[in-house]
Amino acid sequence: MVFKPWTERAPRHTFEDITDQLVSQPLPKIQLNLATQISGTTIIIPNTLSFINDSLLKLFPENTKIGTVSIYKFLTKNDENQDEYLEDEQLYKSQKQDQLIEEFDQELYIYKLNNELNLLLVPNFQNVIYYNLISKEILSKTTDILTITPGNLSFDQSIAILGSSYPDTKFPYLQPPFHITGISGSLLSKSSKVKGLILKSEGVSGFEKIDKESIENLSYYLQKQFKFNEEFLKFIRNSLKNHNSSNNFGLYL
């Protein structure tokens, strides 16, 4: 029998106490301010599809702002340490105090296009909790919502629907494993009355490349559904050209 000397090996995993590093962050504050009651359908789109927002505002130049979505975030300010004298121990105990400061972040605008349509463009957030808080505020005022978003679709589909739908919609329903995220995903998960249109795209969230056929089909569908004139198609094409020239979101043309 041969005895080999024992050698200490470095552990593969080490555990550290990180309790002091775990600090809960306060939720952002969302305020929905309306100058008038929301009536008609509200189209809500992410910033990735801002060319739709631009086209609709051009199509209805007499649009008016009827509301805002104000977003506030909370910052943590570290105050100087204060020493507390403990009589029993006759020692000073150092205390660290944190102060929360409310700070204005940004403001989103709700436009009234005509008597039947409203419009809201939502930016892309890294913190997904913003989508849940914004959708909660909007759904407290209206559920007549059409949201349009990029998404992963089957190779033989250009547009899919989710949630409620218009009676004459012929697009297929979105099926697993395909899914959506962002403001549209939050709205559709919170209310079955919301209508959702998903455009075929690829890429990371917020920087998707939209399929050309999807954009064309969507343009004709919106024109027919809401009785837009031919100028709408022209504005969509021009907006896409402008986005492409600035390399914005890498849209297919």
Q: What is the pLDDT of residues 118-158, one digit of tens each?
A: 999 999 998 899 999 999 999 999 999 999 999 988 888 99
Please state, in angstroms and rounded to a whole number, the distance separating the CA atoms of residues 215 and 211.
7
- pTM for this predicted structure: 0.80
Sequence-distant (≥ 6) Cβ neighbours of residue 179 within 8 angstroms:
151, 152, 185
Q: What's residue 40's pLDDT?
A: 93
pLDDT tens readout for residues 167-215? 778 899 998 888 899 999 999 999 999 999 999 998 887 788 888 899 9
Residue 32's SS3 state is: strand
In CATH, the number for domain 37-63+114-245 is 3.40.50.12120
Contact predicate 33/68, CB 8 Å: yes
pLDDT at 222 over 80: yes
Indicate left, alpha or beta for 246 from its phi (over 0: left) and psi (-120 to 50: alpha). alpha
Taking CA atoms, 134 is separated from 128, 185, 237, 240, in Å, by 10, 12, 30, 28
Question: Regarding predicted confidence, which is higher, 249 or 109?
Answer: 109
189 membership: H or E segment, kind and range: helix 182-190
- For residues 33-41, give the mean pLDDT: 92
Please state, in angstroms and rounded to a whole number, the distance separating the CA atoms of residues 113 and 120.
11
Residue 65's SS3 state is: strand
Please state, in angstroms and rounded to a whole number, the distance separating the CA atoms of residues 58 and 229.
12
Window from 7-16, 59-68, 159-168, 188-197 with minimum mean pLDDT: 7-16
Domain boundaries, the chain: 37-63+114-245
